[in-house]
Structure 1
Amino acid sequence: MNDSAKAGSGPNHGGGFPAQIGDAKFRFRTVSFDDRKVTGGQIAEAVNAHPLETFVILAQLPSFELETLRPQETTDLSKVSRFFVIEGDGTFKFVVDGLSLEWPKKTLTAEAIKTLVGKDGAHVELLQELENQPDKVIADDEEVKIGERGVERFKTRKTGVTIIVNATPHKWEEKKISYAEIVGLSDYSGQPDIPYTITFTKGPPKKPEGDLPKGHSVQVKDGMDFHVSPTGES
């Protein structure tokens, strides 16, 4: 391994085999190796992961699946070039959209899980599959326990809820909606420049009710109820 393979250095633009190596916070470094085949130990060494036995090395396959790479195990950088090196002494397995993954921490946010399977856009939400219960929608900033009761299973789907604006239902596929967008859905859509008062109820747990000022947006929830009126009128 040459100097370009050391932690913090960039790819070897003169040649070599680059790898993306990330940590638990999804901060990645591009590291380049002289050889196409490297060991898990070399991957960890490249980001100064010491002592080696206190870290877990994960290889992310082109399918987005994650699997443990042992220190003496060899991988081919022409086939797998994204890795994680994270402190831990083992992993917890979970499944997302049928893909097998593992992670050395007991919790992950929904946003992190979506990122791991390449579905981190605003139009996708994560659901936890539960036995004898409806699937649970997990908010992006909500932490999910993956190391508590066997193999947890999740799935993703495109977002889409029904919101009520002045008693009229509307389908909405974004995770948030703005003041201007609510006005556009209301009976006042032809008069966007008039100042309006927007209130809502039945919102998400963190803010089930409140006001939506001009220039702001709010996270939506299925069945959320909005009321729009010109300011000064009830």
Structure 2
Amino acid sequence: MTAEHSPQPCRDSGAFQFQAAGSDLQLKPYLLEDATPTGAQIAAVLGFRPNQQVTVLHWFGTTLEDVRPDEVVDIRDGMARFIVAESDGAWRLAMDGQRLDWLARHISVSTLRQLTNIPSEFGIYLEHEDEPDELLDEGYRLDLQARGVERLASRRSTWKLNVQGEILTLHAPTIIVREALTQAGFNPDQGWHIYLKIEGQPKEVVGLDTLVDLRRPGIEKLRLTPKDVINGEGPSTLARAFSVLNIDEAFLDAKFPGWEAVLEGGRQWLLLPNHELPPGYSAQVVQLALELPPTYPATQIDMFYLFPGVTLSTGAQIPATEASAEIRGQSFQRWSRHRTAAGPWRTGHDNVKTHLALVDSALQKEVQL
């Protein structure tokens, strides 16, 4: 609460100037003839009455200290700053090891940043003893009475973005897609279908000029798929040597826009580009192949194939991956993984999408995720 009748600051060559603000931190100049006033005198200059419960805080460069009503402060240098507001006491916290007294039980992170002059590129963390420190949002309000003295620290913030398997560490919370591709080593003008993957949501189609806000919850990665290549004979087309179920086609178009249906030696292959593996493998992105039996979906899809073949990042071989299949002149590593009696193929329910869930489960199991 502010005073009912705050006087307008005036100038007098025989007076000493100081600055004061309320809890909104909007500083204004004031004058006093006394070079060493008490906390009560400072409150009176701002229009507070003696019977009001007023807290006066001395605002140094990055610290705050409570000034008692009878405590004397020195304002002769003309640089003194105070925060004055009606309050029934002061609450204490520590910011980067410095003590701060605040005039309310709650304080927002944005107010704390302004008080301590912490640059915007630094995050403010609540320190914990038995768990990781917590990065606080700007609008977060700390409860200074909840549990003793809150201890906070400022640290230069970093954000990570996965661009087609290349991990970028960024010091700003936003980035233009074009810049992200360039930093990850991709030519943005080569021609890409670009998708933003967000946890629990459908992929978003984005353009080179799209601004990606990394503070948005759930952002996982940017995925790239080459657009059709044009040569002197006209546009190239993706192989569609056999038809797939409507439900499979819709799923593949959404998740693997460059998918192909290839016939090789009488066998039907789905080739899925840019399939990302979980951490722990010798490669991050592979081409995934699934063999569709001629009687699919009455007959189950079994196993899966990777190109290039992978090992664990430790160099260890993976059991039941020794065999291979040649597709378009490339040797795909066969992963011999099969359904069990506890989880049989269900005609009318299972399809490419549900089989890929088993593929991902098998890949995660090997790295114990």
Summarize deviations over 1:70-129 as a string: whole Å, max 9, x none.
22222101366011012210111111111011112122122221222221x221111111
Q: 1:180 to 1:134 in 2, by over 3 A?
A: same
SS for the counterpart of 1:134 is: coil
> Partner residue of 1:91?
90
Give the % identical residues: 19
* Structure with greater strand percent: 1
The amino acid that maps onto 2:7 is A
Matches within 5 A, 1:110-125: 110-119=109-118, 121-125=119-123
Of the structure 1 ranges 79-88 and 219-228, higher mean CA displacement relative to structure 2 is found in 219-228
> Partner residue of 1:49?
48
SS for the counterpart of 1:149 is: coil
Unaligned runs of 5+ in 2: 1-5, 229-256, 258-369
> Partner residue of 1:3?
none
> Partner residue of 2:72?
74
Q: Is residue 9 of structure 1 aligned with residue 4 of structure 2?
A: no
> Partner residue of 1:102?
101
Shift, 1:169, TM fit: 0.2
Unaligned runs of 5+ in 1: 1-5
Query: For the residues of structure 2 that align with 1:229 and 1:22, how far apart are their CA atoms?
Result: 52
> Partner residue of 1:132?
130
Q: Is residue 37 of structure 1 aligned with residue 32 of structure 2?
A: no
Equivalent in 215, 220, 227 of residue 220 of structure 1: 215
Higher relative contact order structure (alpha carbons within 8 Å, sequence separation ≥ 6): 1
Q: 1:189 to 1:25 in 2, by over 3 A?
A: farther
Q: Is the 8 A contact 1:179 1:198 kept in 2?
A: no
Q: How many residues align?
A: 221
Equivalent in 165, 177, 196 of residue 199 of structure 1: 196
CA root-mean-square deviation: 3.4
Shift, 1:61, TM fit: 2.8
Greater Rg by CA:
2
> Partner residue of 1:65?
63
Q: Is the 8 A contact 1:212 1:218 kept in 2?
A: no
> Partner residue of 2:170?
172
* Alignment TM-score, normalising by the size of structure 1: 0.77
Q: Is the 8 A contact 1:161 1:221 kept in 2?
A: no
Q: 1:166 to 1:52 in 2, by over 3 A?
A: farther
Shift, 1:57, TM fit: 0.7
Summarize deviations over 1:171-220 as a string: whole Å, max 9, x none.
1011333445435435655429x7975524259xxx9x967674645143
Q: Is the 8 A contact 2:168 2:184 kept in 1?
A: no
Query: For the residues of structure 2 that align with 1:54 and 1:211, how far apart are their CA atoms?
Result: 57
SS for the counterpart of 1:38 is: coil
Query: For the residues of structure 2 that align with 1:165 and 1:129, how far apart are their CA atoms?
Result: 31
Query: For the residues of structure 2 that align with 1:188 and 1:78, how far apart are their CA atoms?
Result: 60
Shift, 1:159, TM fit: 1.2
The amino acid that maps onto 1:9 is P
The amino acid that maps onto 1:90 is G
SS for the counterpart of 1:95 is: strand
Of the structure 1 ranges 26-35 and 85-94, higher mean CA displacement relative to structure 2 is found in 26-35
Moved over 6 A (4+): 209-213, 230-233
SS for the counterpart of 2:52 is: helix
Matches within 5 A, 1:145-156: 145-156=143-154
SS for the counterpart of 2:180 is: helix
* Alignment TM-score, normalising by the size of structure 2: 0.51
Q: Is the 8 A contact 2:124 2:136 kept in 1?
A: yes
Query: For the residues of structure 1 that align with 2:204 and 2:100, how far apart are their CA atoms?
Result: 39
Q: 1:197 to 1:26 in 2, by over 3 A?
A: farther
SS for the counterpart of 2:73 is: strand
